[in-house]
């Protein structure tokens, strides 16, 4: 109505000015600019095409497609059963579940779980990311939130479904504590709108809405989002353990021809710390390597190479000079010898192929993913980290900057030890500890380990040289080859 009135008045004014002989050129230009601004910002800018999946396509994701997340799936299923059996839940007077928060590191399958949740509840799936709601124009974010909820309801109605799941990835972008971004009240408006929409979800709505949000920074979220009645269920989605990694590898190699020598359990054991997304990429890279080699099947070596590529990046074209390579070989041999001493059979591979930002690398097998570490394990870890620099010093007479990263990690381990009361200080209140005492405790721990490493490597200088020479020659030694060179070396030196 307002629009029509404005339009009528505007036309009348233009005609009046024309008849009165005014030059209306600048006025028309100004009007056109205002109309364009309105169109792009208020209309185009607000309307966003959210990803919609009505659940009828071939590639539906189910919980069976999500590996290594048994606990998260169990918790999720329990929550989703309120929606699946909503008549029953309603009869018992259970208030509808409105929000579910998936928290955990990137690439662990949070989006996958939300899509599987949509299949499980036979729901329409509408996805958006927190960043899609952040705009510089006031009110646009809030309008997009309204549009998101409207889209979910409309799509459900169109497809005849009674459930809809709205997935908001990176919710921390729009849901961080209000007032944090003081200059930008737009963020607060958007979050307020989300709260309003969630409060508007009722048990007897024709379409049951569930908002599933994902974040890896739950600590940043506004407490209003987490209060009961909003995102009142949180499901942790952790990095997969060894069994989980194996399950994910199996899922992502289902459609790939594997040679008989492929040992996925070994790959799973050697990929500690990999997320589901890393493992998917590993399986894909292995297939690409097989294709480049022209083989019909994917072999174990392709998986080994792919793991290194995913972890450390592509091989670098520029190669270090020969003296540098020799130093790197000595350094890595030092690490490997201590690794083998502290945990026999732990060396998986040893390489001096420069990749990404690493010049050399020792891969160790971790038998199991630990929750706790003993004092002995931490001391051993320290000695492996320090061994690279010590080997350089013994064989080449000096250290290099190549050990900087090792030292950073070593300091981290030593700090953990002091915190856990494993230093000479015993159990201490860290807040009351003067800086110099803390520093001394760390350096004593590090010094003690360094001496231990020196005492082991010094008498074995020839062995270090022998293995490093082999490594320089071959660029990469597998765990088995390393151990056979080590045994042969020990025999000759004995
Ligand atoms: P982000 O926090 O970065 O958004 P995310 O936790 O949502 O990540 P997804 O987008 O679900 O992670 O995962 C990315 C891809 O990684 C998936 O498409 C899938 O191929 C693979 N993936 C991740 N986790 C798993 C898993 N648990 N099982 C099988 N595949 C997985």
At 70-121, the pLDDT tens digits run 999 998 998 888 888 888 888 888 887 889 999 999 999 999 999 999 889 8
Residue 214, pLDDT above cutoff 90: yes
Q: Does the beta carbon of 212 lie inside 6 Å of ligand 1? A: no
Residue 53, pLDDT above cutoff 80: no
Residue 390, pLDDT above cutoff 90: yes
- Residue nearest to ligand 1 atom 16, measured at CA: 277
Strand runs labelled E in 433-478: 476-478
Share in percent of the chain as helix, strand, coil (round to 5): 60, 10, 30
Exposed, middle or buried, 209 (CB in 10 Å: 0-12/13-18/19+)?
Answer: buried
Q: Where are the domains of the chain?
A: 2-43, 51-235, 242-312, 322-493
- Residue nearest to ligand 1 atom 2, measured at CA: 106
DSSP states of 111-133 as a string?
Answer: HHHHHHHHHHTTEEEEEEEGGGG
Q: Which residues are catalytic?
A: 332
Q: For residues 417 and 423, is the Cβ–Cβ distance under 8 A?
A: yes
Q: Does the beta carbon of 111 lie inside 6 Å of ligand 1? A: yes
Give distance in angstroms: CA of 120 to centre of ligand 1: 18
Instruction: Return the CATH superfamily for domain 322-493.
Output: Peptidase M41 (1.20.58.760)
Number of H helices, E strands in the chain: 19, 9
CATH 3.40.50.300 fits 51-235, yes or no: yes
Q: For residues 120 and 138, is the Cβ–Cβ distance under 8 A?
A: no
Q: Does the beta carbon of 253 lie inside 6 Å of ligand 1? A: no
For the domain made up of 242-312, give the CATH fold: Helicase, Ruva Protein; domain 3 (1.10.8)
Q: Which of 134-148, 344-358, 363-377, 406-420 has the highest mean pLDDT?
A: 406-420
């Amino acid at each position: 109505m307002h629009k029509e009135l404005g339009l009528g008045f505007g036309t009348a004014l233009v005609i009046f000015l024309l008849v009165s002989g005014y030059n209306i050129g600048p006025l028309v230009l100004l009007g056109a600019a205002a109309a364009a601004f309105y169109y792009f910002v208020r209309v185009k800018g607000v309307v966003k095409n959210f990803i919609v999946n009505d659940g009828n396509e071939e590639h539906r994701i189910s919980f069976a497609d999500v590996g290594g997340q048994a606990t998260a799936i169990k918790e999720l299923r329990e929550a989703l059963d309120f929606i699946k059996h909503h008549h029953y839940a309603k009869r018992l007077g259970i208030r509808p579940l409105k929000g579910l928060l998936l928290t955990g590191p990137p690439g662990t399958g949070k989006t996958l779980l939300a899509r599987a949740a949509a299949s499980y509840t036979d729901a329409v799936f509408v996805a958006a990311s927190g960043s899609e709601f952040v705009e510089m124009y006031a009110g646009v974010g809030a309008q997009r939130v309204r549009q998101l909820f409207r889209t979910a309801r409309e799509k459900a109605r169109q497809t005849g479904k009674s459930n809809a799941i709205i997935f908001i990835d990176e919710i921390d972008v729009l849901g961080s504590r209000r007032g944090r971004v003081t200059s930008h009240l737009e963020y607060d408006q958007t979050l307020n709108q989300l709260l309003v929409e969630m409060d508007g979800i009722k048990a007897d709505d024709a379409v049951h809405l569930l908002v599933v949000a994902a974040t890896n920074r739950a600590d940043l979220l506004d407490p209003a989002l987490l209060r009961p009645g909003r995102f009142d269920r949180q499901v942790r989605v952790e990095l997969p353990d060894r069994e989980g990694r194996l399950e994910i590898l199996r899922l992502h190699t289902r459609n790939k021809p594997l040679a008989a020598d492929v040992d996925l359990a070994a790959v799973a054991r050697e990929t500690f710390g990999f997320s589901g997304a890393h493992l998917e990429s590993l399986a894909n890279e292995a297939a690409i390597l097989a294709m480049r080699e022209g083989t019909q099947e994917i072999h174990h070596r392709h998986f080994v190479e792919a793991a290194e590529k995913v972890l450390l990046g592509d091989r670098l074209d520029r190669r270090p000079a020969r003296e540098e390579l020799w130093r790197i070989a000595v350094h890595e041999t030092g690490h490997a010898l201590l690794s083998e001493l502290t945990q026999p059979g732990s060396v998986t591979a040893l390489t001096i192929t420069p990749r990404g930002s690493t010049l050399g690398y020792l891969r160790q097998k971790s038998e199991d993913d630990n929750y706790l570490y003993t004092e002995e394990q931490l001391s051993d870890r320290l000695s492996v980290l320090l061994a690279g620099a010590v080997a350089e010093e013994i064989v080449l007479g000096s250290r290099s900057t190549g050990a900087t990263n090792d030292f950073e990690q070593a300091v981290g381990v030593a700090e953990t030890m002091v915190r856990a009361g494993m230093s000479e200080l015993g159990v201490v209140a860290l807040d009351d500890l003067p800086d110099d005492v803390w520093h001394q405790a760390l350096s004593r721990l590090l010094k003690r380990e360094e001496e231990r490493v020196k005492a082991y490597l010094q008498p074995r200088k020839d062995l270090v040289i022998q293995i490093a020479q082999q490594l320089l020659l071959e660029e990469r030694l597998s765990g088995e080859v390393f151990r056979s060179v080590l045994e042969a070396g020990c025999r000759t030196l004995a």
